[in-house]
Structures are given as C-alpha cells and as structure tokens.
Structure 1
C-alpha cells in the first residue's frame, strides 16, 4: 500500500518534518511493507522555509534582524535561483513576543529580511506570513524598506496615532504574499478584531487599536485595506499589497513546490495532520488543502491531530474521512511532553485500521 504523509507542524511541539517522520515511524511498526512518501507541508506560517528547502533545495542565508520588541533575532532566507523565500514569523512571530506588548510590536525585521533578499540578488521575494505577534499594519516592514511618514513607523500600532502622510518606497523586486487569510485590514473581520486577542490584545483595546490602523490606511491606500489578505499577519499583508505584491495561497504554493497533486495520484491513502484540527481548518490551513488535493485525486484522506474539535459531519465537510486525536488516544501529558512518541503511537494504531 502506498501512503502519502503530508502534515503541517504541530504548533509548539513538532515541526512539519518531525511530524511526518513520527507518523511514518509509527506506521512502519504496524505495516512495514507499506510504501511511505513523506511530504511535510506549510501554509506560509512557521515552518514555511524549512518545508520549501526540503522540497526545492537551494541555499540558506542566515541574517540577524530586529525582533518585534527590538531584540535582535536570527532569521533564514532560502534562495532558489533568483527567487527568495522567507517567513515573517522568524522576524515577528508570536513566540518572540510571548503574547505581550502587541501594541508596540513591530514588523521592522520582516522588512529587513526583504531588503537582505533583494540585496543578495533576488528578483522575486516570496513572503510567507502567519503566526505573527504584531498588529502594526506592516508599518515596520515599510519603514525598513525606506518608507517615511509624519509619525514613527517603527513603533508598532501605537506609533501610528495621528498619522496623516506616508511616502512608500520603490522596490525593483516582485513581491509575493503567501497567505490563505482572506481578512481585510480593519473592521469587524479585520486583523485587530480577528487575530488581536490571540496575540494578547485585551478586548477593551480592540476598537482603539483598530482605529489606529484605520488612520494608517487613510494615509496610505484605503482601497487596498479592503482587499483579501490585507489583514494577514497583523496587516503585513496590507503593507506587501501596497508595495504591489501579488497574493498566492500559501498552501497552494507549497503544494506545487512539493508536487503534492502528482504524489497523491500515485498513493492509495493520504494522511495529514496539525496541532488542532477544528472548523477553522477550512480557512487555508494545511489539512483542508491536503484533503482537497486528495479529493481531486480520488484518494481518501485522514488526519492525525493533537486535538480534534470537530464532529463527523464537520470533518467530512472538510474532506477528511476520519480524524484521530493525540490527546484522546495518548493523553494530554504524553501528547505535550513526548509529542513525537505519542504521534508515532497513534499512527501505529491508525495503521491497523487503514493499512491493507
């Protein structure tokens, strides 16, 4: 039997590569004769560069940039020919803020990454966004690339108070926004309202912070603020779109890079997974994207996740035949304390049902 293993990261515990290897290890214990094809996945968030490097090769360039709260942090750029790939989470990710200081957190380091990529000769820069700890509308990114304004663009959302004028920089490189988030920059479904609480923004601060981004949009390009993807990564999507970036779904970009459709057609079963499998997985997350590819290939798709928070009906609406929870089958302590072992253990149990 041929099994395609295509999980996302298990946030906080396993990278996508580690998750794929753990699933394979458990599966082999139960079905050693099965042919396993490992295709770690990403959607533009953490792990984006690692997954693409595993699929495309290329050269990695490690640079130091300004973190979201000002502390220098290392970040990696993947160069494949004249295209550079980078992930914003390495420069302004939530793990770098710990859910603190979101009003002052800056995306300046992401702009430094883009600048470093262009200075190294990249004519196309693909920015994977997701997992950010910032909510500054991408003002910091613009500042690092040479934008000027009548207020500080480097001080997070709080620095945008009273802004009336922004001069955008000119870039020679083509930018690509790799994101599956459809949210606009502001409003009821915007970056602040939708994602701010996840980054530590208090409920009673949402309206004021969203107002700061409204001012920022009025000073730059209010029309673009309404575009799909403008609210990605605390507004990093907006800044990139203002610079002329074209938007590509992150999961589609990665699926093409790893030849997921071709590999699904030559498999009998597709296995995906992530840390928390819930109905939000429809919003551009890896399991939904992988399930769609499996459906196109007329192959069944199952999921193994840290938690499964959907019922059978919702699961099938997402294209998943069955989903298995580490917390339920291996226990919370083991799922968090020994995630690779727990994932392998659950994978072995799943193979009893699905392997021939």
Structure 2
C-alpha cells in the first residue's frame, strides 16, 4: 500500500490548502483506492492557516468571535484552540494553544475590490488575540499574511491595551492615517504575553522602513499612492522613534510584514518565525514524511522566488532529509522555476488548457493532478 503525504499550500485567492489537499487526494484515490493518503495541508501564516491546522491536528476547536474588520464594520471570525501537548505536539505542557489569523480578521480579502490604504487597520486582529487570551490559552501562534493595512500594528496593540495619542492627548485616527499624529505612546496597559509566549508566522523578511520596508513594498497593493507611501513610511519611522527599542525592532527581519504588524508584535515581545517551518513543526510534518513513500506539495504559482522560504521548497527540504521522493503540483509553473528537487511536477494551467480555466475550477484540476500523479 502506497503511503502518500499531501502537504500543499493554499492557491491564494483560489482554493484553501485544506480544500486543495482533499481534492488532490480524491483524484489520487480514483486511480489507486488502496493508497494511504495522509493530509497535512500547509500554510505560511496567510489565508487558510486556521484551516490547515484544523485539518492536520486532531481535537482542535474553532471559537467564534466578532471583531471590527478593516472597513470598520463587524466581521464574524474565529480563532482555533489546539489541545495541550506533550512537547512533541502543538500544545506545550501547561495549557492549550490559540491560533489567530490576521487574514480572517483584518485581511485584504475582507475588503473585496475596495482598498482603504490609509484607513484600514489591525483592530480586529488584536480583538481576536484578546479573545484567545481571555480563554486562557498558554501559547499563541499568529499568522500575519494577507494584511489590508499599513498601521504598524497599532490597531492590534490598542485592542491589547496600548494607547497612541496626539499632542493634545487624543487617540490618533486608525490606520496609516493616524501615524503622523502620534506624539505619545503608552504601553503600560498592554496585556502580558501568555506563559508559553507568542510565535508569529510570516513568509517575508522585510524590515519596517525604507525601500524594502512595509509601505514601499506592500503599500501600493493595499491602495496607497506614491505620496501616501512616503507619508506612511514617515509615520512608521515616527512610531519606531517613540516605542522602546523601536530602532532595533524596525530593522529586524519580518518587522515590515503585514504593514508593520510584525514590528508591533516585536514591540509586544513576540517571536517572528518563518511560517512554513513553524507550521510544519506544529502539525508534525517531519514525522509524517518519515513514514511516507511520496510527498506531494505545491502552491498557486511556483516561480523563481518559490525557493525563498515558501512551502514547496521547505517541504522538499524535509523530504530530502528523510530520503523520500517529492512531487509538485502548482496552478502555474513559471519558466524560471527550478523543479530539480521534484520527481514529477504538474501544472493545473497545463492540465486545464489555460490559467482562466484552472482558476475557474481549481478543485476539478487538482483532482485531475492527483489522478495524473497516481498513474
């Protein structure tokens, strides 16, 4: 009996990692129904992180919470409670783990086609974190991909008890708009970290400021024009000047993630970690791979940048360490992509005949890819 581990990332904007893994496994089973198909959907901290954990880890529980979304309106979201563990599984001795996803509380997908570059903020993300703390989790795991804002994490920190006020002592406006007016930062009311700490999942290593920083690199996709990018960068610089150890936090790899939310979390005392590596550890991926005959991984677009900390490259590295073959499935495989690590690679675009067709029904073409690999 062939043992296949399916460790695939989401196809962003198309299908979640959990749904992609199920579709691929269904396709494999149409050709080889005796195979043992073990689903370990992956994530790097963006959309689908909660789904990936819920599929790969037993005894999880979704806890509903209503938060203030990036448009300033209520959003029905949830955080995920993982069971306490024994040091080899998600929970550490002492209590359960709470997983909170920025994408589902303050993410850009919540805005649809609308963009609120100056006004979207991370309040909802902070409210969901506070809800998990209120429930008594021992440790937090935070996914911060797919952000809608460039607020340096001040909305999140406010929801956790911090204050950011102007020269007159008034709370500054939400989002990047308020950064320029910050005159005083009061962290005395900030909630303490849980006993097991806070681990932050991110797939970017950008600093907070400058040409490679949060505003310059990610601001335009969130709706900031050229002048607003410059203003946001200046506002983030002002923020860094006003918080303790702000200068050192600002240059830390990942501080610029999620519009500077990485920076805000460093100010709180959290640890930033490469998302794929941390998720794989939490879901026990290495142990699953060690017993497999084949691993199937993938993502929406596999290109020249996919080797830089993305899910497929990391899964391929784990498979190589275990001496297990690995195959790739992607929505699109770019001409510059290095697929040498994979025994087989399948492009949904090639199977469907066009990118539009594969995007229109990704589950269908993932099933087709699974069947093709099984053959």
TM-score of the superposition, structure 2-length normalised? Answer: 0.87
What is the match of residue 145 of structure 1?
160
The 1:258–1:125 alpha-carbon spacing in structure 2 relative to 1, beyond 3 Å, is closer
Does the 8 Å CA contact 1:273/1:305 hold for their aligned counterparts?
yes
The 1:186–1:310 alpha-carbon spacing in structure 2 relative to 1, beyond 3 Å, is farther
Task: Give how far 1:108 is off.
Answer: 0.7
What is the match of residue 334 of structure 2?
309
Are 2:374 and 1:338 equivalent residues in the alignment? Answer: no
What is the match of residue 39 of structure 1?
40
In structure 1, the gaps of 5 or more residues are none
Please give the alpha-carbon distance, in whole angstroms, between the structure 1 residues aligned to 2:331 and 2:16: 13
Task: Give how far 1:2 is off.
Answer: 2.2
Are 2:76 and 1:74 equivalent residues in the alignment? Answer: yes
What is the match of residue 5 of structure 1?
6
Please give the alpha-carbon distance, in whole angstroms, between the structure 2 residues aligned to 1:153 and 1:69: 17
Please give the alpha-carbon distance, in whole angstroms, between the structure 2 residues aligned to 1:166 and 1:327: 50
Q: Show structure 1 runs of 4+ deviating over 3 A.
A: 151-154, 319-322
Which structure has more helix as a fraction of its residues? Answer: 1
- Report the more deviating stretch, 67-76 or 96-105: 96-105
Task: Give how far 1:333 is off.
Answer: 3.6
**Aligned counterpart for 2:230 among listed residues 207, 211, 225:** 207
Please give the alpha-carbon distance, in whole angstroms, between the structure 1 residues aligned to 2:227 and 2:180: 17
Does the 8 Å CA contact 2:299/2:331 hold for their aligned counterparts?
yes
What is the match of residue 89 of structure 1?
103
Structure 1 segment 208-287 matched on structure 2, within 5 A: 208-220=231-243, 221-287=246-312
Does the 8 Å CA contact 1:143/1:153 hold for their aligned counterparts?
no
Task: Give how far 1:195 is off.
Answer: 1.8
Task: Give how far 1:204 is off.
Answer: 4.8
Question: RMSD across aligned C-alpha pairs, in angstroms?
Answer: 1.9
The 1:260–1:219 alpha-carbon spacing in structure 2 relative to 1, beyond 3 Å, is same
Task: Give how far 1:33 is off.
Answer: 3.3
Are 2:218 and 1:171 equivalent residues in the alignment? Answer: no
The 1:217–1:320 alpha-carbon spacing in structure 2 relative to 1, beyond 3 Å, is farther
What is the match of residue 50 of structure 2?
49
SS of alignment partner, residue 222 of structure 1: helix
SS of alignment partner, residue 23 of structure 2: helix
In structure 2, the gaps of 5 or more residues are 85-94
What is the match of residue 181 of structure 2?
162
